[in-house]
């Protein structure tokens, strides 16, 4: 922390040398308007915020909040009389006040939108397995929900909110957010499939009724949508229509990459529906353009295996190896699935600006939660991979430690 403090002092001192003496000299010549001084200071603050955003030291939502506050303060100050300082003594007083205000305001802004805990030695040791804490993630989700209340026409925002609520296990809120998005974009097959899935979870993990109607709408919009086909097969299987279930799943298998985790699961489901009959191998599909995905396997250290129950929730996530540490993609599984293969890609992003494809390297993490809550709790089990290139396959993550 000491080098950071020394560097901060030097930077603030340099800023004061640029701002205060010229202001004092202008006071001796009669001074310039208070509006001009305020505008110059606020422009500097805005440039610093933009630089922090570009460097990745400030999350987009924090940047927007701080910029709004700075612009509001500037607008309020510009409502003043704008009169020039009358005497050199008044200008020198303003210079002194500004000299004190700059470091104080800088500290206040940092404490508001920065991460003081990152200065401590525990930050380098990886104190938080998520980079951004679960409380911070939930707060960001709540801010997104509040913003959408005043901007209800943002279909992409409602989609992100629905996806975020689903990750948090808040399925009633997730289904309501998806309903808002579907009302704005009624023919998006993937959105309809996600809506059906969330609604089924909210009504007791059953696809019967309204979720199945929504799945039919999704398949009408895109007959080859994988998620809609898989859900349709599950709904048919639950009605004991095993032949119909196998038919939907075979259509999904024809679209899926042959070596993907999902293809393996679908094949197993077809075998079950057919009572052990053979499953045709689908042709291997090309990978997503740009390789904006990471795949691998999550396993458990044998010492911790006995602590995992079949119904425990498993969160598998990716975050940037360097830069903003908000999760870039999240996948939910259950304890009974471990060891489990995974694929994370851009479709699992929590925010449009924070996707796997935006970063060269990521860290893959896994956490077993007893509460199905994104907030890490004592007793949860976790593990992290080393930094890997986006596009990597065969990434191994071992759940080998316990949250204290």
Three-state DSSP at 241 gives coil
How many H-runs (helices) and E-runs (strands) does the chain carry? 13, 9
Per-residue model confidence as pLDDT tens digits over 6-24: 445 445 555 555 554 555 5
Average pLDDT in the chain: 74
In 29-87, which ranges are continuous DSSP H helix? 34-55, 60-77
What is the per-residue pLDDT for 388?
94
Per-residue model confidence as pLDDT tens digits over 91-110: 455 445 545 445 544 444 44
Report the DSSP pairing between strands 381-384 and 361-369. antiparallel
Tokens of 121: 């030695």
Q: Average pLDDT, stretch 106-133?
A: 43
Is residue 37 scored above 70 in pLDDT? Answer: no
What is the per-residue pLDDT for 14?
53
Domains in the chain: boundaries: 2-124, 134-273, 289-402
Share of the chain above pLDDT 70, in %: 60
Give the CA angle between residues 118, 315, 245 to the nearest 5°.
155
- E strand or H helix that includes residue 146: helix 134-150
Q: Average pLDDT, stretch 30-35?
A: 48
Q: Average pLDDT, stretch 302-328?
A: 87
Q: Which residue from 80, 49, 54 is spatially nearest to 67, judged by alpha carbons?
A: 49
The residue count for the chain? 404
318, 364 contact by CB (below 8 A): yes
383, 297 contact by CB (below 8 A): no
Is residue 88 scored above 70 in pLDDT? Answer: no
- E strand or H helix that includes residue 298: strand 293-300
SS3 string of 168-208?
CCCHHHHHHHHHHHHHHCCCCHHHHHHHHHHHHHHCCCCCC
Q: Average pLDDT, stretch 211-224?
A: 92
Is residue 191 scored above 60 in pLDDT? Answer: yes
Give me the residue label for tokens 């999704």: 218
| Dihedral of the alpha carbons of 363, 369, 373, 374, in degrees to the nearest 10 | -10
3-state helix, strand, coil in the chain (%, to 5): 55, 15, 30
- To the question of pTM greater than 0.95 for the whole model, the response is no
Is residue 338 scored above 90 in pLDDT? Answer: yes
Between 88 and 340, the more confident residue is 340
Tokens of 357: 């494809």
Between 210 and 102, the more confident residue is 210
The DSSP call for residue 294 is E
Tokens of 365: 């993490």
**What is the gyration radius of the CA atoms in the chain, in angstroms?**
27
What is the per-residue pLDDT for 331?
86
Phi/psi of residue 211, nearest 5 degrees: -55, -40
Q: Which residue from 79, 80, 90, 81 is spatially nearest to 27, judged by alpha carbons?
A: 90
Per-residue model confidence as pLDDT tens digits over 51-80: 666 655 555 666 676 676 666 665 655 544
Place 353 in a pLDDT band, splitting at 50, 70 and 90.
Answer: low
What is the per-residue pLDDT for 71?
65
Region 289-402: CATH code: 2.60.40.1120
What is the per-residue pLDDT for 65?
66
Q: Do domains 134-273 and 289-402 have the same CATH topology?
A: no
What is the per-residue pLDDT for 22?
54
Instruction: Indicate the fold that domain 134-273 takes in CATH.
Output: 1.25.40
Q: How far is CA 296 from CA 167, 283, 318, 364, in A?
A: 20, 21, 12, 9
Between 68 and 206, the more confident residue is 206
Per-residue model confidence as pLDDT tens digits over 125-156: 333 334 456 677 788 888 888 999 899 999 88
Tokens of 269: 């489901």
Please report the sign of the dihedral spanned by the C-alpha atoms of residue 226, residue 363, residue 385, residue 368: negative
* Residues near 250 by beta carbon (within 8 Å), at least 6 away in sequence: 270, 279, 280
């Amino acid at each position: 922390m000491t080098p950071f403090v020394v560097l901060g002092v030097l930077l603030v001192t340099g800023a004061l040398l640029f701002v205060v003496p010229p202001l004092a000299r202008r006071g001796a010549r009669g001074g310039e308007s208070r509006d001009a001084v305020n505008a110059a200071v606020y422009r500097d603050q805005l440039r610093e915020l933009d630089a922090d955003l570009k460097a990745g030291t400030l999350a987009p939502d924090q940047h927007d909040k701080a910029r709004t506050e700075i612009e509001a303060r500037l607008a309020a100050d510009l409502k003043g009389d704008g009169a020039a300082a009358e005497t050199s003594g008044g200008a020198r007083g303003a210079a002194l006040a500004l000299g004190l205000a700059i470091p104080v305001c800088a500290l206040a802004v940092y404490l508001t939108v920065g991460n003081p805990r990152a200065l401590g030695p525990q930050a380098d040791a990886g104190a938080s397995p998520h980079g951004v804490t679960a409380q911070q993630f939930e707060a960001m989700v709540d801010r997104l929900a509040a913003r959408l209340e005043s901007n209800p026409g943002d279909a992409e925002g409602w989609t992100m909110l629905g996806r975020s609520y689903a990750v948090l296990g808040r399925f009633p809120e997730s289904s309501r957010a998806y309903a808002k998005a579907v009302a704005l974009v009624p023919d998006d097959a993937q959105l309809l499939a996600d809506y059906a899935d969330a609604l089924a979870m909210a009504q007791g993990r059953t696809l019967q009724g309204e979720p199945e109607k929504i799945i039919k709408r999704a398949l009408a919009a895109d007959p080859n949508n994988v998620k809609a086909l898989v859900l349709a097969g599950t709904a048919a299987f639950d009605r004991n229509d095993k032949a119909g279930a196998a038919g939907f799943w075979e259509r999904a298998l024809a679209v899926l990459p042959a070596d993907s985790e999902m293809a393996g699961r679908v094949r197993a489901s077809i075998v079950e529906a057919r009572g052990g009959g053979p499953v045709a191998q689908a042709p291997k599909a090309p990978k997503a353009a740009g390789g904006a995905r990471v795949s691998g396997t999550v396993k458990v250290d044998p010492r911790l295996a006995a602590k995992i129950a079949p119904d425990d929730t498993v969160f598998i996530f990716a975050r940037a190896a360097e830069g903003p540490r908000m999760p870039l993609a999240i996948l939910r599984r259950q304890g009974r699935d471990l060891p489990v293969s995974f694929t994370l890609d851009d479709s699992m992003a929590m925010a449009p600006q924070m996707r796997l494809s935006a970063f060269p390297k990521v860290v893959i993490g896994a956490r077993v939660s007893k509460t199905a809550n994104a907030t890490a709790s004592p007793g949860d089990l976790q593990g992290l991979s080393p930094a890997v290139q986006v596009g990597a396959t065969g990434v191994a993550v071992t759940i080998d430690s316990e949250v204290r």
